[in-house]
Amino acid sequence: MCFPPPATGMSDFALSTWPDSLSFPQGRSDSITVSVLPRGAFKGNVSLSVSGLPAGVTASFSPLGIAGTSAMTLTADSSASPAKSTLTITGTSGSLSHTATLPLTVTGVAKGTVAVDLSSAYNANGIYSDGKTFTAAASPDSAGFACSEQVLGPTQIGEGVLFKFGPANALDAVRSTTVALPGGKFESLRMLAFGVNGSQESQVFTVAYADGTSSSFTQSLSDWNRPQGFSGESLAVTMPYRLAGDGSKDNRAFYIYGYSFSLDGSREVRSITLPNNEQVLVFAMTLVPAAPAT
User: Residue 267 gets which letter from DSSP?
Assistant: S
One-character DSSP codes across 79-140: TPPPEEEEEEEEEEETTEEEEEEEEEEEEP--SS-EE---GGG--B--EE-TT----GGGST
pLDDT of 7 above 50: no
pLDDT of 3 above 70: no
- The answer to whether 181 and 269 have CB atoms below 8 angstroms apart is yes
Q: What is the tens place of the pLDDT at every residue in 202-249?
A: 999 999 999 999 999 999 999 999 999 999 999 999 999 999 999 999
Predicted local distance difference test score (pLDDT) of residue 9 = 56
pLDDT of 294 above 90: no
Q: Does this chain's domain 12-107 share its CATH topology with 114-289?
A: no
- The answer to whether 21 and 35 have CB atoms below 8 angstroms apart is no
The pLDDT-based confidence of 1 (bands split at 50, 70, 90) is very low
Domain boundaries 12-107, CATH class: mainly beta
How far, in Å, CA of 226 to CA of 195, rounded?
A: 10
Predicted local distance difference test score (pLDDT) of residue 291 = 67
Predicted local distance difference test score (pLDDT) of residue 181 = 97
pLDDT of 190 above 70: yes
How crowded is residue 207: how many other Cβ atoms within 10 Å of its Cβ? 22
- The mean per-residue pLDDT over the stretch 24-42 comes to 89
Strand partners for 91: 48, 98
Which of 74, 154, 76, 81 has its CA nearest to residue 111? Answer: 81
Predicted local distance difference test score (pLDDT) of residue 293 = 52
Q: What is the tens place of the pLDDT at every residue in 246-289?
A: 999 999 999 999 999 999 999 999 999 999 999 999 999 999 99
Q: How far from 54 is each of 5, 57, 59, CA to CA, in Å?
A: 44, 6, 11
How far, in Å, CA of 268 to CA of 131, rounded?
A: 43
Average pLDDT value over all residues in the chain: 92
pLDDT of 155 above 50: yes
Fold entry, domain 114-289: Jelly Rolls (2.60.120)
Predicted local distance difference test score (pLDDT) of residue 4 = 42
How far, in Å, CA of 208 to CA of 220, rounded?
A: 20
How far, in Å, CA of 236 to CA of 254, rounded?
A: 11
- The residue ranges of every structural domain in the chain are 12-107, 114-289
Q: What is the tens place of the pLDDT at every residue in 157-166?
A: 877 788 999 9
Q: What is the tens place of the pLDDT at every residue in 75-115?
A: 998 788 888 999 999 999 999 999 999 999 988 877 889 99
